[in-house]
Structure 1
Amino acid sequence: MLPTLASVVALPRLGLRPLTGAALDVPVRWVAVSELPDPTPFLEGGELVLTTGMRLAVPGECAPYVERLAACGVAGLGFGVGLGHAEVPPELVAAAEGRGLPLLEVPRPTPFVAIGEAVSRKLAAARYEDVTRAFQAQQELVRAALRGSEALVSRLARELRGWALLLGPDGEPRHAVPPSAEEERLAEVVAELPRLRGGAASLALPGPIVVQQIGLGRPRGYLAVGTGRPLTPFAHTVVGAAVSLLTLGSETPRGDTRLRAALGAMLLGREVVEPPDPLRVLLCGERATEGLENDPLWERCLAVPHPDGCALIVSEPLVDQVIALVEPYGPVGVGDPARFADVPRSLAEAERARPVSGVRRYAELPVRGLLGLLDGPDAAEMAERLLAPLDEVLRASLLAYLEAGGQGDPAARALGVHRHTLRHRMRKISQLLDRDLEDAGSRAELWIALTLTRRGVF
């Protein structure tokens, strides 16, 4: 949950003073400092805009300025006094009051950067809280899943403080929480299921309602949830975990008891007894399971939904046989052998190895051999020292920028941020690292450093 403007105003060290009667319970997603007469082309909404009013000295400028900010959906406006203006212009106060825009007086001793740091800390705390809540919720879902799908759906509705419907492959109701959800929501959801059967990964219906398919390949069922308000990132994470558990329950083979026992022990936080053979992850197309469902090998694999298709966890002795069955249904990337705890590494390798067509193993990638020469504690320590000035946000931004070949627009789209935001981050990275990001050598060095510091690359 984002911090509110009220929580920022409540920080005594900032000394912010509200000047309008507008409600302060609006969420703040970032702080933007601008002296432009129209900063809205560089805003996305939800920002606390800070200014000293350098461009607001001419009478009649305040009302259009406030109108532009309010129309953009900013969280509020902070006006620094003691520089260009001894006090906040009464015209600006009147315009903000009339438009319902929160207006804060920022005293001269309070630097704008202190406000930005305070909001950044609150955003980090909120993200940590969301991650912690999501982790705890997923643990509860795992415990509920061990008692069956109905217990899992009931727990999901409780975590979301909403309703949930579990449907069969033909849309028949299997479980509703609360029971009234079947009568109130079933017809609406079932009427839209043909859209999911047509290939959509999920549906968003008015309400708002989210409907997702359970199962790989042909649907094993559907899950519909609603909370009466837009789903938060926390809610999407929890719903995704529930769908994965329901899919795992519907698709998990019955034959390889040792692999399933190890998985169950891991979910319960118990000591994992390693399966006798190493495991590999195969990243296949969505229809790959069609080649396995009628084969005895199906009972000895674990199939998990993946954004790019289907990930298969396979015992090492069975890899070649499984590849032969799934290859006709699309390209296959094959990770290196891994023990149970290192299966995520094998998945990352399969993702990197997956070709446009055919089959490719991670060990066959040419770049692996070159980078493998650097795979050691000394290289990793040097890479970490190089990147030490960058936080996680800047590292992710740098990686997206490098993977986009230094092109700002595709990198910004991949990160989900405005291109000007990414441009600002690139300038900051260049300054912190003292590197010219236009230089090919610098880019190569930074890409190698990022690769070395990301777990599971080799």
Structure 2
Amino acid sequence: MADAAVAPPSLRALLSRRDLHLRLVADEADLSPGILDRPVRWVHSSDLADPTPFLSEGLVLLTTGTQFADAAAADYDAYVGRLLARGVQGLGFGTEVVRDGIPSRLVVACRQAGMPLFEVPYRTPFIAVARAGAEAIAADAYARRSWSLAAQRAVSLAALRPDGLTATLAELSRQLGCWVGLYDAAGALRTASPAGSLPAATADAVSAEVRTMLRRGTRAAGTVRTGDTAVNVQTLGRGGHLRGALAIAADDLDHEARSVVTAVVAMAALALEQQDGLGRAIGTFRAGLVQSLAADDPALARRAARDLFGPLPAAPIVVALTPPAAARSAALTEWLETRAPEGRGELFFGRGDDGLVLVVPAGARAVLDEIAERFELVIGCSAPCGYDGFSRALTQARTARDRTEAPGLADFADTARAGLLAALDSEAARAVAAGALGPLRRHDQTQGSMLVETVDAWLAHDCSHEATAQALGIHRHTVRARIAQAQRVLGRDLSSFAARAELWTALRLAE
């Protein structure tokens, strides 16, 4: 912060005023490190034995020593200890007003405590010291306000450049003299200035915090600390529609610096909202290309995609489908927009009727694994196919997705291996099966028969009365009688394959 680096008033600056004739009593080496350069917030005078209830942190206290008239050695130590505990930055002693010189015990107590002690000669009134402090404070405040206005103008001009958002962040970094980073809606670092200057451990911690804040979906601010580095994080966008986050590696920003940051946050949020509008238009175009591909005629989609996104992935391809909610995820869409190497034909995506459709070469499914893991999604994947079978592949991906609950990739090949019954299994199918078997179950309950068990065994043994009798340990005539009874109860002939297959399916779904 070149212009912003007008140092706040300090005790060193006050002691350097030749017109005040102040004299530091102790050697600087005996003082607390850096205490002479800490900001002084005010200059106050008091002769109370304990003025600390009326003081605030960062003051310089002036006294004439009236309170030490009958003081013992321990009183001096206690007095200085109270001042240090309250955050007093220095003690000025007015000599030749109440007593000659500075009490030696006070000098010793200040030296032992590392408290700056300086002499205010008789010819320098306390009011002159206080006025000098007030003037320095006012000058510093004016300088900070002037810097803030100049900094806001600089970042506003940077926003007018073709790369407005990146230039604005670079200018903010220059004005604050610290690292500044912009994260997208997916929590990934989009741009930073100065690039690569943030320690790796801090960068990882900030990225993790940004992702957590964005997942909550509400506007928030926080601070990440790793070692001696503190990074302030502020989300961008409105609640429920966050567009990213701004991170600044600065521990303590004053009011003027925060006003500059606030201006940049507003500009960044506006720029991201404008980009969001463009993104919606592109998303609509992508959805149209998906509809074209779903018609199994890729010619139009190939021509339209080549100009804007690059070539479509080369066949054979795998078609994947996310859950419906993921198609509305700005974080997922932005992650795909900024990371998908579409120019090399490795990924195409677009909104479908019930999810985000992803298309990759059959041998390049790693990106699908990454998406499923990063966004904790179930992604259904088709078998490898050509673009002329796109609609069939989309149905396969949908089937695999809907048959899987745990996040990760769901292969249609695995679903197919589970058999047709697994695909038919649903609440509706089980309800129909229970209805079909209801007459047999009620007969068994009221008559004490075993029609369901017998029919199940009969179908399992290829409708052989002999094999069924051996399996159940009963006579074959008993099996024949029970099957005949089951046909009467069900009101249907079980001699045809279709009737037997339907009853067997109902038994399997009802298990």
Specify the TM-score bucket, using the shorter chain as the normaliser: 0.5 to 0.7
The correspondence of residues 88-167 of structure 1 with structure 2, limited to 5 A, is 88-147=102-161, 148-167=164-183
Aligned pair partner of 2:95 in 81, 86, 92: 81
Q: Aligned to 1:215, what secondary structure does the other structure show?
A: strand
Structure 1 partner of 2:270: 248
Distance change (3 Å), C-alpha of 1:224 and 1:3: same
Aligned pair partner of 1:179 in 195, 198, 213: 195
Conserved? CA contact 1:203–1:210, under 8 Å: yes
The correspondence of residues 182-193 of structure 1 with structure 2, limited to 5 A, is 184=200, 185-193=202-210
Conserved? CA contact 1:201–1:213, under 8 Å: yes
Q: What amino acid is aligned across from residue 221 of structure 2 in structure 1?
A: S
Conserved? CA contact 1:165–1:182, under 8 Å: no
Q: Aligned to 1:180, what secondary structure does the other structure show?
A: coil
In the aligned structure 1, how far is the partner of 2:68 from the partner of 2:13?
Answer: 28
Q: Aligned to 1:98, what secondary structure does the other structure show?
A: helix
Which stretch shows the higher mean deviation, 215-224 or 193-202?
A: 193-202
Distance change (3 Å), C-alpha of 1:81 and 1:198: farther
- TM-score norm. by structure 2 comes to 0.47
CA offsets 1:60-104 (integer angstroms, 9 cap, x no match): 221111111112221100111122211110110111111111111
Conserved? CA contact 1:15–1:106, under 8 Å: yes
The correspondence of residues 247-396 of structure 1 with structure 2, limited to 5 A, is 247-251=269-273
* Cα drift, residue 205 of structure 1: 1.8
Structure 2 partner of 1:239: 261
Conserved? CA contact 1:51–1:78, under 8 Å: yes
Conserved? CA contact 1:165–1:181, under 8 Å: no
Q: What amino acid is aligned across from residue 2 of structure 1 in structure 2?
A: P
* Cα drift, residue 42 of structure 1: 1.8
Which stretch shows the higher mean deviation, 58-67 or 195-204?
A: 195-204
Structure 1 partner of 2:20: 14
Conserved? CA contact 2:189–2:207, under 8 Å: no
Distance change (3 Å), C-alpha of 1:121 and 1:78: same
- TM-score norm. by structure 1 comes to 0.52
Structure 2 partner of 1:36: 48
* Cα drift, residue 238 of structure 1: 2.1
Conserved? CA contact 1:4–1:26, under 8 Å: yes
Number of residue pairs matched by the alignment: 254
* Aligned-pair Cα RMSD in Å: 2.2
* Cα drift, residue 159 of structure 1: 1.3
Q: Aligned to 1:219, what secondary structure does the other structure show?
A: strand
Distance change (3 Å), C-alpha of 1:108 and 1:183: closer
Conserved? CA contact 1:216–1:251, under 8 Å: no
Structure 1 partner of 2:231: 209
Q: What amino acid is aligned across from residue 45 of structure 1 in structure 2?
A: E
Q: Aligned to 1:63, what secondary structure does the other structure show?
A: helix
Q: What amino acid is aligned across from residue 86 of structure 1 in structure 2?
A: D
Aligned pair partner of 1:220 in 219, 239, 243: 243
Q: Aligned to 2:233, what secondary structure does the other structure show?
A: strand
The correspondence of residues 400-415 of structure 1 with structure 2, limited to 5 A, is none
Q: What amino acid is aligned across from residue 226 of structure 1 in structure 2?
A: A
* Cα drift, residue 7 of structure 1: 1.1
Q: Which residues of structure 2 form unaligned runs of 5+?
A: 1-6, 278-511
* Cα drift, residue 253 of structure 1: 10
Stretches (4+) displaced over 4 A: 252-255
Q: Aligned to 1:24, what secondary structure does the other structure show?
A: helix
Q: Percent identity?
A: 38
Q: Aligned to 1:45, what secondary structure does the other structure show?
A: coil
Structure 2 partner of 1:67: 81
Q: What amino acid is aligned across from residue 219 of structure 1 in structure 2?
A: L
Structure 1 partner of 2:421: none
* Cα drift, residue 139 of structure 1: 0.8
Which stretch shows the higher mean deviation, 9-18 or 193-202?
A: 193-202
CA offsets 1:275-294 (integer angstroms, 9 cap, x no match): xxxxxxxxxxxxxxxxxxxx
Q: Aligned to 1:174, what secondary structure does the other structure show?
A: strand
Conserved? CA contact 1:76–1:102, under 8 Å: yes
Structure 2 partner of 1:4: 10
Q: Aligned to 1:143, what secondary structure does the other structure show?
A: helix
Q: Which residues of structure 1 form unaligned runs of 5+?
A: 256-458
